[in-house]
Structure 1
Amino acid sequence: MASHIGKLPIAIPAGVEVKIDGAHFEAKGAKGTDSYTLPEGITAAVEGNEIIVTPADDLRPTRAKHGLARSIMAGMVKGVHDGYSKTLEIVGTGYRAVAKGKGIEFFLGYSHTITINPPEGITLKVTDANHVVVEGIDKQMVGQVAANIRKLREPEPYKGKGVKYADEHILRKAGKAGK
């Protein structure tokens, strides 16, 4: 039984160039270039304007890698064409972010400021003092940088203060009841 996700073809949008050389996959688009080495036992081929990913055999390790390889390749094609972004929201009195060169300086209620410089291929934007946008072509790296920024001051459950994803809902707790 093959992977349900692995069987799906990957549509190649206009403006994206795909090159498959043995186990090496490369996608080139308007946003940049990304490459991936296919796992052992997985092959890919371009048919028309689609990429078909096929397993060499029906063994369990190969089946496990089939869907993974297809998902990573589909993510790369989308990344070089559209890119990925995550928006973070800063909640709390005096909490804010300020652009500083390529990086961002955070004021999060600590006795010091925290400066974050983005890794290669990631751009950080401050839309206003309480919103930061992380953008890039690598889905995993965008998510990791956003998670690292969120970790600087995770949202607390009583007032919801901290750094949270824009679409994240914080479960609130009631404080002390009093008499």
Structure 2
Amino acid sequence: QGVGYRAAKNGNQLNLTLGFSHPVTYRGPEGVNFTVEGTNRIHVDGIDKQQVGQVAAEIRSLRPPEPYKGKGIRYAGEAVRKKLGKAGKAGAK
């Protein structure tokens, strides 16, 4: 989730735009398949449950959700606990 975060599939690799100054390419291992739904939802599936979880964790680690705005790659249904900003900023002029 985030402004400008996009995903595209090219063979068995993902081309990700994650807000960096360069596109990120993630090459998946054998036995793990990707499906991109829309432009910002990635579905990872395969036979080996451990390997699927590992690949999903590696993709998430490219841009984990940050606690202030909640932007980043997250799992489906994952709730990100948000933090408040600076305490003095709310009443500052």
Please indicate, yes or no, whether the TM-score normalized by the shorter chain is above 0.5.
yes
**Matched letter for residue 47 of structure 2:** I
Q: CA deviation at 1:106?
A: 0.4
Q: Distance in 1 between matches of 2:56 and 2:38?
A: 17
Which of 52, 55, 60 is the equivalent residue of 1:150? 60
Query: Does residue 164 of the first structure (1) align with residue 74 of the second (2)?
Result: yes
Q: Distance in 2 between matches of 1:132 and 1:146?
A: 9
Q: Distance in 1 between matches of 2:65 and 2:37?
A: 20
- Report the counterpart of residue 115 of structure 1 in structure 2: 25
What is the SS of the residue equivalent to 2:53? Answer: helix
If the length of structure 2 is used for normalisation, what is the TM-score? 0.91
Which of 140, 143, 156 is the equivalent residue of 2:50? 140
Q: Distance in 2 between matches of 1:128 and 1:99?
A: 11
**Matched letter for residue 8 of structure 2:** V
What is the SS of the residue equivalent to 2:58? Answer: helix
Q: Distance in 2 between matches of 1:124 and 1:116?
A: 11
Gaps in structure 1 of 5+ consecutive residues = 1-90
Q: Distance in 2 between matches of 1:134 and 1:122?
A: 7
Q: CA deviation at 1:101?
A: 2.1
**Matched letter for residue 2 of structure 2:** G
Which whole-Å deviations, capped at 9, do the CAs of 1:113-161 have from their partners, x for residues lacking one? 1111210100011011110000001010000000000000000011110
For structure 1, which segment, 169-178 or 151-160, has the greater mean C-alpha deviation from structure 2 after superposition? Answer: 169-178
Q: CA deviation at 1:167?
A: 1.6
What is the SS of the residue equivalent to 2:74? Answer: strand
**Matched letter for residue 104 of structure 1:** L
Q: Distance in 2 between matches of 1:158 and 1:143?
A: 26
If the length of structure 1 is used for normalisation, what is the TM-score? 0.48
**Matched letter for residue 124 of structure 1:** F
Q: Distance in 2 between matches of 1:97 and 1:123?
A: 14
Q: Distance in 2 between matches of 1:96 and 1:175?
A: 27
Aligned residues: 89
What is the SS of the residue equivalent to 1:140? Answer: helix
Q: CA deviation at 1:103?
A: 1.2
What is the root-mean-square deviation in Å for CA atoms of aligned residues? 0.9
Give 1 or 2 for the bigger CA radius of gyration.
1
